[in-house]
Amino acid sequence: MVGLKLDTTCQAKLAAALALVVRAAAPALAVPVGPADEPAPVFRP
Amino acid sequence: MNPALEIAARIRARQVTAVEVARQALARAEALNPKVNAFTALLPERAMAEAAAVDARIARGEALGPLAGVPYAMKNLFDLAGLTTLAGSKVLRGTPPAARDGFLVRLLAEAGAVCLGALNMDEFAYGFTTENSHYGPTRNPHDLTRIAGGSSGGSVAAVAAGLVPLSLGTDTNGSIRVPASLNGLFGVKPTYSRLSRHGSFPFVYSLDHVGAVCPQRGRPGRLLRRLAGAGCRGPATSAARTGAGLGRAARRLGRAARGPAGRLVRQAAPDAARHAVAAVAAALGGAGEVTWAMADACRASAFTITSSEGAALHLPTLRTRLEEYEPLIVDRLLAGAMLPAAWVNHAQRVRALAAAQMREVMADWDVLIAPATPVPATPIGQEMLELDGETLPLRASMGLFTQPVSGIGLPVVTVPVQRAAGVLPIGVQLIGKPWTEALLFRTAAALEAAGVCAAPVAPAFAAGAV
């Protein structure tokens, strides 16, 4: 797992953390983007 | 007058020496820091040497900087020469001391300010509570059983406890605005790329901002002009715009509206936050209420980018020294390392869309008003937060209202409303268009003059405050 060996307890905590991130990311992933929508890796106001 | 400027004026008038001010400030910090745990390192030798240099300049009749003799302190992710830059971590304890000061520290030194030491924070700035497992929790001077907020918790608690009149911190998703709200101070998160990040330990390159914490009558514009003034360093510093919007413009107050709302503000903000926003809006004649439909999506983008970039920064070290990381963040870092690259790219594209939509929202308004935190300071150790009938993890949710705004780099001044819930203050965000900090400072000053906002030292620490 990303180059790490984790025991089952750590794996369970990681799974919970990942579930939280997935839930938090959902509103962004739900936004449709088209080919013209470029990323903003470094934001320039 | 602002305590920092008052100190400088008294020193300039030879009513007190810089050495005496530094000695008193160090004594106060040594005596009271154990109560709040704001400092992780006091630097008495450095402070006394810098103060003596100020007094020597006075004796020689030389010109003084605007902050001559003013004590300050830095979040411990900024390089201070001779001190290991911890960024709140155990992992970095063994790294060599910084060879020189970070860029903003050097500017403060040129202005004559006297560095007292380094301040506690969430490990690697990944948190909103400063419940640091390695160095202990920083406590809220308004109620020592409660969190100071984070990740710049030490920076804010040190000012709220009257240990220093000025500190610098960083804000990626709310790390200045959240603790400023919980401690009742003015917090300044400038436009993204306004201030140099040179000589500071990074967290999320796409989102990291440097900013300041100010007490009553903070006059932060003068400070920001000094820090943004010359020769900025770093790829994410806008050299062409560093001084724009910090001058003596903005003689009028802006047109203010409540928002950006979306689901977040409309439904989630409990009474204390809503009442504080209403008080600020009423004082500013906030006529309208706007909705930023992409607020939730922008927060989600910032969350995703933070998870991934933070993880990428630490993954090599996590592979060998996992057990030395803060238990409160290690799972989140590992989870971030597992996010698909496509998600992160998508989040960056959504962030650009959200910024474009916000430009349309702000076309008719100069200042938007929103809560800084959903609630006042919570008890240390509290894990969950009840908001709008939902049970949410507290450490991730304190940035509910700050994260969307920093996600698109807009400038924000957090203004404090005292006694929002019992003895506890809460903050309100004044959100501006890019590079309009001067207007936000003027708006904050008007709120202070109207008695709506104030940022005194916490009552239990008021006697003898620096």
**B361-375 pLDDT, tens per residue?**
999 889 999 999 999
Q: Do A1 and B338 touch (CB under 8 A)?
A: yes
| Res B173: pLDDT | 98
Amino acid at B422: G
Identity of the residue in B206, B303, B335 whose CB atom sits nearest the CB atom of A18: B335
Tally of residues, chain B:
466
Size of interface A-B (CB pairs under 8 A): 117
Q: Do B335 and A29 touch (CB under 8 A)?
A: no
pLDDT at B465 over 90: no
3-state helix, strand, coil in chain B (%, to 5): 40, 15, 40
Predicted TM-score of the model (pTM): 0.93
| Whether B258 contacts B286, CB under 8 Å | yes
Q: Do A33 and B346 touch (CB under 8 A)?
A: yes
| Res B5: pLDDT | 81
| Res B256: pLDDT | 66
| Res B229: pLDDT | 52
| Res B289: pLDDT | 85
pLDDT at B124 over 70: yes
Q: Do B409 and A38 touch (CB under 8 A)?
A: no
Question: Which tokens sit at B283?
Answer: 């004082």
| Res B231: pLDDT | 46
Amino acid at B386: E
Find the mean pLDDT for residues B67-73.
Answer: 96
Interior/surface letters B159-190, b for 16+ CB within 10 angstroms, e for the rest: bbbbbbbbbbbbbbbbbbbbbbbbbbbbbbbb
Query: With pLDDT > 70 as the criterion, what percentage of chain B qualifies?
Result: 88
pLDDT at B7 over 80: yes
> Which residues in A have their CB inside 8 Å of a CB on B?
1-4, 6, 10, 13-14, 16-18, 20-21, 24-31, 33, 37-45
Look-up of token digits 């997935």: A22
Identity of the residue in A2, A20, A24 whose CB atom sits nearest the CB atom of B337: A2
B2 or B272: which carries more pLDDT confidence?
Answer: B272
pLDDT at A26 over 70: yes
| Whether B457 contacts B160, CB under 8 Å | yes
CA A18 to chain centre: 8
Which residues, listed in sequence order, are joined to residue B75 by a DSSP beta bridge? B119
| Res B252: pLDDT | 46
B153 or B4: which carries more pLDDT confidence?
Answer: B153
Most confident listed range (B138-142, B259-263, B328-332, B460-464): B138-142
| Res B216: pLDDT | 56
**Mean of the per-residue pLDDT values of chain B:** 90
Is B30 within 8 Å of chain A by CB? no
* Weakest-pLDDT range from B220-224, B258-262, B359-363: B258-262
Tally of residues, chain A:
45
Closest CA to B36 of B154, B165, B200: B154
What residues of B act catalytically? Answer: 75, 151, 175
Interior/surface letters B423-434, b for 16+ CB within 10 angstroms, e for the rest: bbbbbbbbbbbb
A32 to chain B, closest Cα gap in Å: 8
Look-up of token digits 């960024």: B87
| Res B222: pLDDT | 66
Find the mean pLDDT for residues B18-40.
Answer: 98
Is B410 within 8 Å of chain A by CB? yes
Q: How far apart are CA B108 and CA B64, in angstroms?
A: 12
Find the mean pLDDT for residues B411-439.
Answer: 94
Identity of the residue in A4, A21, A40 whose CB atom sits nearest the CB atom of B351: A40
Question: Which tokens sit at B359?
Answer: 């430009």
pLDDT at B270 over 50: yes
B34 or B226: which carries more pLDDT confidence?
Answer: B34
SS3 A27: helix
Shortest CA distance from B349: residue in chain A: A39
Q: How far apart are CA B79 and CA B108, in angstroms?
A: 13
| Res B238: pLDDT | 55
| Whether B440 contacts B415, CB under 8 Å | no
| Res B227: pLDDT | 72
What radius of gyration do chain A's Cα atoms show? 16
Closest CA to B292 of B438, B441, B436, B401: B401
Q: Do A24 and B322 touch (CB under 8 A)?
A: no
| Res B214: pLDDT | 79
HSE at residue B261, side-chain half, CA atoms within 13 A, is 11
SS3 B123: helix
Residues of A whose CB is below 8 A from B440? none
| Res B243: pLDDT | 44
Residues of A whose CB is below 8 A from B206? 40-43
Find the mean pLDDT for residues B71-81.
Answer: 98
pLDDT-derived band of residue B279, with 50, 70 and 90 as boundaries? very high
**B129-176 pLDDT, tens per residue?**
999 999 999 999 999 999 999 999 999 999 999 999 999 999 999 999
Identity of the residue in A16, A31, A41 whose CB atom sits nearest the CB atom of B297: A31
Strands B71-75, B167-171: pairing kind: parallel
pLDDT at B338 over 50: yes
**DSSP secondary-structure letter at B351?**
H
| Res B457: pLDDT | 94
Q: Do B336 and A21 touch (CB under 8 A)?
A: yes
Mutate to test the interface with B, among A21, A38, A44 (most CBs of B within 10 A): A21
pLDDT at B51 over 60: yes
A8 to chain B, closest Cα gap in Å: 13
Q: Do B350 and A20 touch (CB under 8 A)?
A: no
